[in-house]
Every structure is written in C-alpha cells, then in structure tokens.
C-alpha cells in the first residue's frame, strides 16, 4: 500500500498536495486551516497611506489581500532580516534566500526553495527577495487571497523546471517533497509509478501526459479545503 496521507480512491490531487503537508501544531501557525476566514479587506486607499509606510513605487493590486496590520507585521519581520546599516533603505535591499528561509513560517515548508524561487524577482535566479517580493508572497498565502490566485501560484511552485506544465518529473519531485527523501519514507519506484498514474488519470483531461494550469485548477476546484490550507501567516 502507498503510505501517503490522503491517498485514497476518489481523493482529488489537491488533497494529496496540500493536506498531506505537515499538520499545524500550537507553535506552528503556518498551516493552520482553522485560522478563520477574515473578511477581504479591499484597500482602496493607496497602500502606503493605509500601512503608514512610505513606498516610492506603486504596489501591485494583489497586495490588496493583505490587511494594514499584516503589512506592518511583514515590514517588521522583513526589517529584522536586514543588518542595522541595511535597514536605512529597506526598499532597495534584497534579503538572500538563506536568510528568508530562517523564518519559522518557511523553514518547515517542504516547498520553501520553490516558494522563494517563484516569488523572487531577482534576475540571478538566486531566490533573494525584495520587500515587494516578500509582500507578494504573503499576499498570495494570506487568508484573503482567492482560490484562483492560490492555485495559480501552487501550480508555479510545483512546476519545478518552470516550463509551464506539470510532467512526470515534476510530480515525482512534488511527491518526494511531501514524503521526504529519506529511505524510510520515500515511495518505491512502483508505488511512485502507480501514484503518478493515478494523479494523471484524475487530472490530465486532454491526455497529453502532463497537467497544464487549467487542468490543475479544475482539480483544485474540487477540493474545498485547498484555499484554507495553502497558507503562510506571520
Ligand atoms: Ca514542468
Ligand atoms: Ca494535459
């Protein structure tokens, strides 16, 4: 039997993907699906004013998913990742991936490297983050982001080679992230083959052997718990 949590007949891929992630404990709030749904706060006023922070650039619309309190907390946490001298010009600085991954909210996430990669705007592909990148990430993982936005980013996170489609290799890596790469936990070759076959049977609607974004979003839409489990809260 394949010992992967959530893997039963009829359980959609989305459940496998996110509900198999480490469960929340009282100390770890990041995957807490019971955090409650906060009202969508559509910040019509410029965010800079709302948050009391001076931004010399216009922030993207996606950031409307964060509340003023969340932005202020993000600002504080990001600032703490910078050295004293760097804190003078926080908006011009990038925090290296190694530092970002010291945040407990990311440290235990099996997709931490991919998350940095997807949200980093660094042209070097080093996963470093500007404050704007950091806010983008928190916005997508916030309670208020829509399921469509979350599934779009989940797809990008799972698309390990960034080629716009989830093929067998991506799915294999994804499963290994969930089970861990240790000899005791990882799936055998035949279990892996079976699992990927199941995932494709369920998701690959046009039968081209890979899962594209709309196929992925279709599967995710059948998992009502997805949006509440795709979450990082500082
Ligand atoms: Ca791919
Ligand atoms: Ca397909």
Which structural domains are found in the chain, ordered by start? 1-23+146-234 (1.10.238.10), 30-142 (1.10.238.10)
Q: In angstroms, what is the span from residue 179 Cα to ligand 2's centroid?
A: 25
29, 233 Cβ separation under 8 angstroms:
yes
Per-residue confidence (pLDDT) for residue 35, from 0 to 100? 27
Residues 77 and 234 sit within 8 Å (Cβ to Cβ): yes
Its pTM surpasses 0.85: no
Cα dihedral sign, 14-1-201-204: positive
Which DSSP symbol is given to 211? B
CA 103 – ligand 2 centroid, Å: 36
On whether the CB atoms of residues 214 and 125 are closer than 8 A, the answer is no
Q: Report the Cα 50 to chain-centroid distance in Å.
A: 26
Q: What is the CA radius of gyration of the chain?
A: 18
The stretch 11-35 carries a mean pLDDT of 38
Distances (CA, A) of 168 to 19, 23, 113, 174, 178: 21, 26, 20, 10, 15
Neighbours of 137 (CB within 10 A): 21
How remote is the CA of residue 215 from the centroid of ligand 2, in Å?
7
Q: Give me ligand 1 centre to Cα 105, in Å.
A: 26
pLDDT in tens, 102-155: 998 888 888 999 999 999 999 999 999 999 899 889 988 988 888 888 899 999
Q: Ligand 1 centre from 155 Cα, in Å?
A: 9
Q: Torsion angle, CA of 204/5/117/150, rounded to 10 degrees?
A: 70
The region of weakest confidence among 149-153, 154-158, 229-233 is 229-233
């Amino acid at each position: 039997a394949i010992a992967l949590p959530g893997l039963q007949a009829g359980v959609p891929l989305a459940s496998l993907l996110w509900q198999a992630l480490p469960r929340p404990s009282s100390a770890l709030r990041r995957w807490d699906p019971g955090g409650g749904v906060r009202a969508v706060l559509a910040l019509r006023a410029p965010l800079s004013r709302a948050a009391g922070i001076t931004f010399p650039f216009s922030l993207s619309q996606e950031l409307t998913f964060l509340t003023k309190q969340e932005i202020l907390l993000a600002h504080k946490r990001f600032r703490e990742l910078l050295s004293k001298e760097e804190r003078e010009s926080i908006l011009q600085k990038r925090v290296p991936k190694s530092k970002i991954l010291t945040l407990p909210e990311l440290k235990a996430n099996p997709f931490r490297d991919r998350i940095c990669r997807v949200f980093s705007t660094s042209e070097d592909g080093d996963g470093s983050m500007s404050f704007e990148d950091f806010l983008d990430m928190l916005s997508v993982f916030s309670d208020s982001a829509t399921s469509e936005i979350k599934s779009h980013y989940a797809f990008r996170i799972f698309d390990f080679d960034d080629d716009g489609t989830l093929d067998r290799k991506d799915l294999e890596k994804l499963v290994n992230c969930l089970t861990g790469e240790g000899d005791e936990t990882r799936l055998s070759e035949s279990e892996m083959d079976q699992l990927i076959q199941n995932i494709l049977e369920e998701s690959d609607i046009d039968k081209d052997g890979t899962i594209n974004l709309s196929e992925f979003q279709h599967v995710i839409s059948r998992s009502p718990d997805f949006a509440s489990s795709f979450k990082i809260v500082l």
